[in-house]
Each structure stands twice: as C-alpha cells, then as structure tokens.
Structure 1
Amino acid sequence: MIYLNKTIIEMKNIVKSFYVGTPNQLDILKGINIVVNEGEFVAIVGASGSGKSTLMNIIGALDRPTSGKYILDGTDIEDKTDNGLSEVRNKKIGFVFQTYNLIPRSSALKNVELPMLYYGMNRHERRERAEQLLELVGMKDRMKHQPNELSGGQKQRVAIARALANNPSIILADEPTGALDSETGRLVMDLFHKVHEVEGKTIVFITHNHELAEETERIITLKDGNVVSEEQNDKFIKKFPNGEKICL
C-alpha cells in the first residue's frame, strides 16, 4: 500500500469546555493539536477521564469544539450546519463502537445496508455491497441472523462491515475490543489490521489498553485533556503486507 501523506485529520488548539453553572467552566480538552495522514493506523490512548471520549466525538463530527479549528479530509467543520455534519459523518467516517450499536430487530445484512440507504444507494447495489463486506469480515454465512443470535465477536465484525459500507476515508473505533474476551478481541484486532493494510483505510483507534495501542503505527497519549506524548511505534509490523486474506 502506498500512502501519499495527505493530511486527513488536522486539529489546531482544540478546546472543549462545559459550563456547570455560572461562572464555573469545566475544561475537558485544553488545546489539542493532532495531525493524522491518509492511511495511518493511529491509537489515541489514555485513562478514564483523560478526554478520549470527548476527543472521539469531535473527531467523528458528533460534537463541535468550543474553540480551535478542525479540518476533516479538507472540510472545515466550523462551517457546517448540523445537517452538513450529518452528511460528513455518513460519507467520510465509519464508526465502530464498544457496544456495537446494531439495530436489534434487523438482520446483519440490513444493519450493513443501513448507511448505504441514507447515502441514497439503490436496493440492488446495497445488497450486493453488504454481502461483499460481510464476506470480507467472515460473516456472510450469518447475514440473515439478528444481533441477538450472534456472539460479541460476530456483532463487532458486522459493525466493522457496516463501518465500511460507504467506503469512508476514516474508520473511528472507540474501545472496539472492550466488551470482548481476550481471544475474540485478538480476532477483531486482526480484522482491523486487515482493514488497514488490505483495504487501505485510515484508522483512529481509541483505547485505554496500552498493549493494543502498541499494535498501531503511532501512539498519541492523552492525560487531563492534554496530549502528553506522541510517538512513532518502531515495533509496528504489518500482519498482511501482501494483502493476504484472513479467516475469522
């Protein structure tokens, strides 16, 4: 995979504050500066209360900063209306959450199709792409199953397929192995490596787990709303350098 070093996430002096009664102000993010280039696999790591979740919401255009500038794949978030932000999320970001966030009474296939429905893709194209993505993550034989008929690892694989539905620029993963046992978490982590290396996706991986963070190319550490360290991971090794498929 050849990367062009195009900047896809650029955050300049991002501050997020909440008012908890005049004149009290709670500063969660205190001037965050982050750059992520296209094709990177980056971990944002920190303990509970470090500001990870707040930062994730801003990266994902789910919330706006109090101040500072955020450029997402060439789009200035400050200029967008709420409807505009919704469109940005649908086109540019695929979300993977710790709790899966699948629609309970819909099949795996329908869950993967949903973002494409909002995107305006026709029924035939939605179905074909959803089946391809479920095959990619090893879930094609479970595509008619509802979430309550799937294990945690299977649900997360469906969630990853859904995140890829609209071919987004970025996959934003929030503690995606946090609800899984270690063996299943290992399989899901391997799938993220596959998505990064074979599909060429930019991945921002939010975690409190330093061991998982060590599997990414670059580690950004948050503490008390500040970036306290940022380092290239010299130990990073591509697991699928030749685009090999994996079997989950």
Structure 2
Amino acid sequence: MKDNIIDMRNIVKSFYIGTPNQLDILKDIDITIKEGEFVSIVGASGSGKSTLMNIIGALDRPTSGTYILNGTNVGEKTDNGLSEVRNKKIGFVFQTYNLIPRSSALKNVELPMLYYGMNRHERRERAEKLLELVGMEDRMKHLPNELSGGQKQRVAIARALANEPSIILADEPTGALDSSTGRLVMDLFHKVHEVEGKTIVFITHNYELAEETERIITLKDGKIVSEEYNDKYVKKFPDGEKICL
C-alpha cells in the first residue's frame, strides 16, 4: 500500500473583517492523498478551492488544523522553511504560466534548480531533458512572448518537474487555453502521472476535466461535499515506458 503524501486534518481558514466578524473560507477540511494519485479538487467560484490550493502549496497557512506533507508537519515550519518546502517538494503549474518574460524557455526551467543549488551543467542537462519530455525541444531558446499559450504551459510543466517534487499542484492549468490546446496539455498531465509516476493535485472548476482524474473531491461553500473514486477513469498511457531524467 502506498504512503500518504498529503494528510490534512480539521483545516480551517478564516479572515477577520472587523471585530467581532469572522469570515470562514474553509471549514474543517479533511483530505488524504496517497503517493502517485491523480486527484482533482473541483468547485465553483467562491467554493474555497483557491484558498485550499494555497494551503496545499505552502503559500498560505491555515487558521487552525494540521497539514502533514510527505511526512513533514508544514504548520511547524518557519517562513524560510515553507519556502524550502515549496522549492523541493511541490511543482506549481498556474493558469497564467508565470514564466519570466526575459528568459528563454530553457532558463525558465533551470530557475528552480538554481535556487536548489544545482550546478550549471546539471541544470542545463536536466532542463533540456525536461523540455524534450514535454515536446518543446525545438523551442528551448525562445522567449515566452514567442510561444503560444499551450507551449508556455508545456514549459511551465517542465519547470514544475525540475526539482523532482513529490507533488505537482496544478491551478486551472487549461483555463486560459482553447479546447484543442487544453486537450494536449491535459494529455501531458496524464503522461506525467502515468509514465513519470507523479502525484498530481488538479484544481479546477471544470467537472468534465475532473472526471479524467482518479479521484474527485468537490468543494462547496468551504466544505467538502463529496469525495469519490472515479469509475470512469481510464489510463491514457497504459504501456508508457519510464522516461529517465
């Protein structure tokens, strides 16, 4: 049996909007995700999924509750410790790509490894292999403004894999793309999950995309209203060979 990689218990996130008023965004959230799972967190705007994503990604702290990430109690970390968790354990893919405009695709993918302390030769070699993995080997030297939306997102996925994170956390990664390009990007997530064996937490408002994942967690008004394994889940790369990076 695979180990739990995310274990959240009684997570609450509240904002104070003037004494004694309190706005509860997340209410007693319990989530367990095992190593290698592809899980979607789905909900309408205002359901609390972005707030939950920020806590999963160690970008924000809960008001109360316990969050264990890959054996580490995130709540006990200092701000510098949270930064280290983000850099080493989590690969982020955002709807808006968040690429550095004046850096090439190759340099964007190298950046997390620079912060990690990897030497120049190793950074470049791994960045090249990652860009090959996502089908961007012929665009390595291009700047973000020379790439299409789908190409930018593929670079962002390569960057997310740079430090061999425990989790890929994807926030509406197809939201800014047309349907055909979104389909290509979604297939790439399946490849990263099935061929590379990565744990993926996929945040979306799109229930059709959520139905492509192994397990669906539905949020409404800051609460989990359903959590179910997906009988419709089908592997896209059932015979994919492991790609050595």
Pair 1:94-2:91 in alignment: yes
Partner of 1:64: 61
Output the CA distance in 2 between the equivalents of 1:26 and 1:141.
49
Output the CA distance in 1 between the equivalents of 2:43 and 2:158.
27
Partner of 2:236: 239
CA displacement 1:182-206 (0-9 Å, x = unmatched):
0000000000000000000000000
Equivalent runs, 1:144-183 vs 2, <5 Å? 144-183=141-180
CA displacement 1:73-110 (0-9 Å, x = unmatched):
10001110000000011010000000000000000000
Pair 1:133-2:130 in alignment: yes
Output the CA distance in 1 between the equivalents of 2:76 and 2:50.
23
> Cα RMSD between the aligned structures?
0.8
Instruction: Report how far residue 145 of structure 1 moved.
Output: 0.3
The equivalent position to 2:39 in structure 1, one of 35, 42, 56, is: 42
Output the CA distance in 1 between the equivalents of 2:130 and 2:208.
28
Partner of 1:223: 220
Q: What count of residue pairs does the alignment treat as equivalent?
A: 242
Output the CA distance in 2 between the equivalents of 1:191 and 1:223.
28
Identity percentage of aligned residues = 87
Q: Residue 34 of structure 1 aligns to a residue in which SS?
A: strand
Q: Residue 8 of structure 1 aligns to a residue in which SS?
A: strand
Q: Residue 33 of structure 1 aligns to a residue in which SS?
A: strand
Output the CA distance in 1 between the equivalents of 2:143 and 2:177.
19
Partner of 1:189: 186
Instruction: Report how far residue 244 of structure 1 moved.
Output: 5.5
Output the CA distance in 2 between the equivalents of 1:244 and 1:138.
16
Q: Residue 9 of structure 2 aligns to a residue in which SS?
A: strand
TM-score by length of 2: 0.98
Output the CA distance in 2 between the equivalents of 1:130 and 1:201.
18
The answer for unaligned runs of 5 or more in structure 2 is none
Instruction: Report how far residue 241 of structure 1 moved.
Output: 1.1
TM-score by length of 1: 0.97
Partner of 1:199: 196
Partner of 2:115: 118
Equivalent runs, 1:72-91 vs 2, <5 Å? 72-91=69-88
Q: Which residue identity is paired with 1:92?
A: K
